[in-house]
Amino acid sequence: MTRGWIAALLCMFGITLAGAQTASNVPPGLAELVTKQFGSCFEIATRSSEVQVKYLHPDTKQETFVPFVTGDVDGDGVEDAVIIATCKNPLADEAEFGYKVIDPFYSAHGFGDPKITTTFGSTDPSGANNVLLVIHGSGPEAWRSATPKAKFVAINLPFRTVMVGRVQRKKGTAPAIKLVETDDSSSVLFWDGKKYRWADVAGGN
């Protein structure tokens, strides 16, 4: 990645995330939907990834972990779903279930092949290794459709929880998934029309 591209990307982002959604409750049947769309390897996460060592960074806040949010993340006007899940081998059923394993974080840092980066291991000392399942909705059933527009498994992302909202860009706002690590650290995942890109957000805003 060139310095010019990084500068242009940071210019596009106003480093504020506007109108972020409140996380939704997990709906009935979500576990069955995940199995149907992604395979039996994937299970809905029951806790957040610990991206820091707790005794070095004690967390005094009591937060409810919510592994599921919805919103239009690809800008087509149809509701999509973002699900926090776990899976030991995301690549195993990629062809059978028609999803695409992606690694926007390492792609932004010069490594783009999930076949390699899946071997890098989790940054979570507890080994949770949470991934993001992103379903682009289709038709009146949106993300619940039996044949969604697209499905992605995003690996190696630094986050404890996620929100769906809009990020300020050069020509207005655009959909984005906010990846929250701590109160002072977050990043965004956004659809550029062809693929998902990752970008750091200074100051956690």
pLDDT 10s digits, 114-173: 989 887 755 444 444 789 999 999 999 999 999 999 999 999 998 888 999 888 777 778
CB 135 within 8 A of CB 37: yes
The model's pTM: 0.79
- Domain of residue 164 covers 3-204
- Low-confidence stretches of the chain (pLDDT beneath 70): 1-25, 50-63, 121-128, 183, 202-205
Number of domains within the chain = 1
Q: Kind and range of the H or E element at 35?
A: helix 30-38
Rg of the chain over all Cα atoms, to the nearest angstrom: 16
Alpha carbon distance 58, 75 (integer Å): 38
pLDDT computed for residue 182 by the predictor: 77
Torsion over CA: 141, 146, 152, 155 (sign): positive
Which pLDDT score, from 0 to 100, does residue 85 have? 96
